[in-house]
Chain A
């Protein structure tokens, strides 16, 4: 055993050296054999061999950069300022008085109402009935289409292959398949997987001819297969699959054959088979001359799909994106907020494929030409069967707008990667005053699947560009082809400003001397919001309202805090639970319920019923009744409760509370500090740190701020104070932040605390030590420069994380 421990230690050190510290290939170690060393090297090589698709990192980064930053309240420092809009919507229930007459029985009835029953009754004319929404495919015109009347399936040796739908259209044939009863996943590849490339489904016609699938989207045992169009008058074909999708040889029965009998799509058949789209009347909103129309809506158990159209005036503009800082959302009259469904890799074309409906079938009276238009289909989480109205909310639309302008950069005689050229170039781009402050030659290594590729960029930093009315500049597209650059990128700089870049053409040497750069276009965000509300056809006007409960006895005391369930909202799409403190300590307020504590996550916050059913955190729908402003961090949202549930149990791992406490101190910002970029520390400009000596006793906590520095964040300069590492006083309760009451600048004026924040928590990987930080703005709003001198800081409280867990139980039915 000692040998094993010794070996484990040796191996661990070796792996750390290779994996964590990037050591080169290792040789035979003193006590480790050659095979082990080779094995570690090989595992490392395998890991390093995984590379990302070109552009993935940047695409994802831009998505994150496009999210909003929510200013923190100065009295809730350390609290979730950076959140996705829709993650905030678990809302205060207290201000919204739901009709309480709704009986629980009604709720339970609603909860089990099949979602398939959602949506409108057929309201279209016969011609319009040929328009259908096929989940996973999109809005399709089923004119001249042969379809499968009902799913058909074949079962062999316990494995079922089901053909869910066939759309034999004039231009191609689509078949949606799924299988069940596959072997457990750990038995599927005992001897290695086959290559997928020889997957070759066929359609065999009655005369023996076959059609070979042109393309497909596969999941394990399922897929959407595309074939050439069927010959006219063919209504009977056989689907032949050599193997179920993605299954290795021998894992399941093979050589599948399924006979498919098709029927011509008629209005009645389409209405029966597919969710019926409807065209909401007058469903449009216009801002800044840009109109957003909702053309079609379809409800299915999987999603609510919208086909929308953007129409604008200037034919030189090009539509780029729906949604600005926030993703578009769909809301209903009950208070649900439905998020857009992240495109699954299940082959759904809902978000990527736009199927044009012929003009003679257009369901909107809005004329399209000559105004430029853009159409897209977008899917949201399925709407509640109880909803009567839906509202599409879009905060902004982004366009690429032509721009003119140019400037020169003198790169000198021998420009090198890393060189930086300060610039002072002022331009007007698409109506925005743009100030280019510098350029830098940067070398990047792109990780590609077939290896890495090097490239050189000339990056331009752009000062903060003020909005022009309802317009925000999102990016510049530059042209430097004359100097050997190709392409143009963009993004945000490290301080939150814009950045534009030029790629050096491959094989091209870095140009020297003066080069001219042209501004060709700009990404411009037009802010609305666009709000479009419509009534769901066929919805019951006396629809059910969500049930609200106020359980009396769902309380528990842990670590000196009594937590209770204040309100429960039960709908057919979610369960919302808001917690609160009962008899809190003097001055204490509950800031938030915490979903995790320590390393417990996901399992930490839990809701289950008396039948042992576990309800997951609702991921695609939130609860936020209309007109309620900020999110309530004390509320959680789970999936809808099952009708047979009698009792619910909520497990809350921890909470964060705010406690009053008083403290004050002075800190001095020296003169002459310079800001530099240091990639090894923080990734934005910062000054060299300087030592401070600020002992702080606040509430039950003692800190010592020992380091200060200036950091440029979000277009301003913050003084950041960092404490010495400290050991938390108690395992079940620790300081999570400081609450700033005021900061007085050296000139006696009050500092705007909008940008201020504080956080305390684990500061180092080893040793379980914590650190606290505090930051506030030190820029003189009059001059835009840092105000050196002595700042007087007053604190009026702390936030503290308190470990539970609290288990809160309440009945859903009267005893």
Chain B
């Protein structure tokens, strides 16, 4: 994972130099996009919001005095942008829209079909989770944040996030198991 030390250097440089901000942008764009896409469920909104996240980050760079990581700060912006979006649109994310779920091409056809079905089922199950559990999963897996960074974004302790993710996975595991039976 990109190191925080490099981030700090890039942030410092980005205050002076647009190329440095682009370096940060390149580093975090895929993660922010995936997270936002996961939360809003369509390409157009994901693009708009991702653009606004980086725009706000660029505008607010002088405010960045985080005691946590840059990633945590950036995803806090994304978190709020997504929340604003949902408030505005009153739109529920359809987790199944997140991606067409390309199955692993290395698998044989039968296994790919099976994997695809499993992912679709998993997506539907995730959608039924409590909002904070969905958010924790999105930040952890789609935003690729550490527990500490998720904690920073969600305003919880690192231990609480660790436990939240564990319980969420346990709940998913149980529900997926029930579905299969």
Residue of A with least CB distance to B148: A765
Q: B107-160: which have CB < 8 Å to A?
A: 115, 118-119, 122-124, 127-128, 131, 137, 140-142, 144, 146-148, 152-153, 155
A342 touches B90 (CB 8 A): no
Residue of A with least CB distance to B155: A599
Stretch of A4-12, A431-439, A459-467, A514-522 with 4 or more beta carbons under 8 angstroms from chain B? A4-12
Which of the residues A7, A44, A64, A722 comes within 8 Å of B58, measured between beta carbons?
A: A64
| CB of A113 closer than 8 Å to a CB of B | no
* Distance of A769 Cα from B50 Cα, bound (Å): 30
| CB of A344 closer than 8 Å to a CB of B | yes
| CB of A72 closer than 8 Å to a CB of B | yes
B141 touches A35 (CB 8 A): no
* Distance of A561 Cα from B124 Cα, bound (Å): 53
B54 to chain A: which residues have CB within 8 Å?
60, 64
B137 to chain A: which residues have CB within 8 Å?
43
| CB of A56 closer than 8 Å to a CB of B | yes
B98 touches A50 (CB 8 A): yes
Residue of B with least CB distance to A325: B18
A52 touches B30 (CB 8 A): yes
* Distance of A757 Cα from B17 Cα, bound (Å): 11
| CB of A787 closer than 8 Å to a CB of B | no
Asked if A765 meets B34 with Cβ closer than 8 Å, knowing A39-B173, A82-B14, the reply is: no
Of residues A64, A190, A757, which shows the largest number of chain B Cβ atoms within 10 Å of its Cβ?
A64
Stretch of A141-149, A369-377, A396-404, A447-455 with 4 or more beta carbons under 8 angstroms from chain B? A447-455
| CB of B16 closer than 8 Å to a CB of A | yes
A190 to chain B: which residues have CB within 8 Å?
128
* Distance of A51 Cα from B38 Cα, bound (Å): 11
B19 touches A713 (CB 8 A): yes
* Distance of A447 Cα from B165 Cα, bound (Å): 28
* Distance of A684 Cα from B162 Cα, bound (Å): 37
B47 touches A598 (CB 8 A): no
A684 to chain B: which residues have CB within 8 Å?
19-20, 23
| CB of A101 closer than 8 Å to a CB of B | no
B128 touches A4 (CB 8 A): no
B140 touches A19 (CB 8 A): yes
Interface bracket on A: 35 or more
| CB of A714 closer than 8 Å to a CB of B | yes
B33 touches A69 (CB 8 A): no
Residue of B with least CB distance to A765: B4
- A801 → chain B, closest Cβ, in Å? 5
* Distance of A219 Cα from B58 Cα, bound (Å): 29
B72 to chain A: which residues have CB within 8 Å?
599
A598 touches B66 (CB 8 A): yes
Which of the residues B6, B22, B80, B127 comes within 8 Å of A681, measured between beta carbons?
A: B6
Which of the residues A20, A189, A342, A773 comes within 8 Å of B92, measured between beta carbons?
A: A189
A495 touches B67 (CB 8 A): no
A683 touches B23 (CB 8 A): yes
Interface size on B, residues (CB 8 A): 100
Which of the residues A449, A734, A755, A768 comes within 8 Å of B100, measured between beta carbons?
A: A449
A60-92 vs B, CB cutoff 8 Å, 1 = contact: the mask equals 110111010100100000111111100100000
A496 to chain B: which residues have CB within 8 Å?
17-19
Asked if A713 meets B20 with Cβ closer than 8 Å, knowing A57-B29, A762-B68, the reply is: yes
Q: A534-567: which have CB < 8 Å to B?
A: none
A753-770 vs B, CB cutoff 8 Å, 1 = contact: the mask equals 001010101111110100
| CB of A688 closer than 8 Å to a CB of B | no
A599 touches B66 (CB 8 A): yes
Residue of B with least CB distance to A592: B62
* Distance of A246 Cα from B45 Cα, bound (Å): 14
| CB of B82 closer than 8 Å to a CB of A | no
A757 to chain B: which residues have CB within 8 Å?
12, 15-16
Stretch of A180-188, A267-275, A356-364, A642-650 with 4 or more beta carbons under 8 angstroms from chain B? A180-188
B16 touches A82 (CB 8 A): yes
B176 touches A39 (CB 8 A): yes
A220 touches B91 (CB 8 A): yes
* Distance of A71 Cα from B111 Cα, bound (Å): 58
A656 to chain B: which residues have CB within 8 Å?
65
* Distance of A158 Cα from B91 Cα, bound (Å): 18
Asked if A762 meets B8 with Cβ closer than 8 Å, knowing A35-B176, A60-B25, A220-B91, the reply is: yes
B97 touches A193 (CB 8 A): yes
* Distance of A78 Cα from B65 Cα, bound (Å): 11
Majority secondary structure of chain B interface residues (helix, strand, loop or mixed): helix
Residue of B with least CB distance to A604: B63
| CB of A232 closer than 8 Å to a CB of B | no
* Distance of A482 Cα from B21 Cα, bound (Å): 36
Which of the residues A43, A69, A83, A594 comes within 8 Å of B59, measured between beta carbons?
A: A83
Asked if A50 meets B34 with Cβ closer than 8 Å, knowing A451-B102, A495-B19, the reply is: yes
| CB of A682 closer than 8 Å to a CB of B | yes
* Distance of A633 Cα from B60 Cα, bound (Å): 11
* Distance of A342 Cα from B76 Cα, bound (Å): 21
* Distance of A289 Cα from B145 Cα, bound (Å): 53
B20 to chain A: which residues have CB within 8 Å?
683-684, 713
Asked if A49 meets B9 with Cβ closer than 8 Å, knowing A12-B166, A345-B44, A762-B68, the reply is: no
B48 touches A220 (CB 8 A): no
A9 touches B104 (CB 8 A): no
| CB of A697 closer than 8 Å to a CB of B | no
A45 to chain B: which residues have CB within 8 Å?
104, 115, 119
Which of the residues B5, B30, B153, B165 comes within 8 Å of A12, measured between beta carbons?
A: B165
Asked if A47 meets B141 with Cβ closer than 8 Å, knowing A64-B22, A81-B15, A683-B23, the reply is: yes
* Distance of A683 Cα from B24 Cα, bound (Å): 10
A81 to chain B: which residues have CB within 8 Å?
15-16
B50 to chain A: which residues have CB within 8 Å?
60
B97 to chain A: which residues have CB within 8 Å?
193
A711-752 vs B, CB cutoff 8 Å, 1 = contact: the mask equals 101100000001000000000001010000000000000000
B100 touches A599 (CB 8 A): no
A and B contact pairs by CB, cutoff 8 A, 22 listed: A7-B170, A9-B162, A12-B162, A19-B144, A21-B1, A36-B169, A46-B119, A49-B101, A52-B47, A61-B25, A63-B51, A64-B21, A82-B16, A83-B59, A185-B92, A496-B19, A599-B155, A682-B6, A757-B16, A759-B11, A768-B67, A773-B12
Q: Which are the 10 A-B pairs with shortest beta-carbon distances?
A: A80-B62, A765-B4, A8-B166, A185-B92, A759-B12, A49-B99, A193-B94, A683-B23, A220-B91, A20-B1
Chain B residues within CB distance 8 Å of chain A: 1, 3-6, 8-23, 25-26, 29-30, 33-34, 37-38, 43-45, 47-48, 50-52, 54-55, 58-69, 72-73, 76-77, 80, 86, 89-92, 94, 96-102, 104, 115, 118-119, 122-124, 127-128, 131, 137, 140-142, 144, 146-148, 152-153, 155, 162-163, 165-166, 169-170, 172-173, 176-177
Chain A residues within CB distance 8 Å of chain B: 4-5, 7-9, 11-12, 15-16, 19-21, 35-36, 39-40, 42-47, 49-53, 56-57, 60-61, 63-65, 67, 69, 72, 78-84, 87, 182, 185-186, 188-190, 192-193, 219-221, 246, 342-345, 447, 449-451, 492-496, 592, 594-599, 601-602, 633, 654, 656, 681-684, 711, 713-714, 722, 734, 736, 755, 757, 759, 761-766, 768, 771, 773, 801
**9 additional contacts (CB under 8 A) given A72-B16, A82-B21, A492-B19:** A64-B25, A343-B48, A596-B60, A596-B64, A713-B13, A762-B4, A764-B3, A765-B69, A768-B67
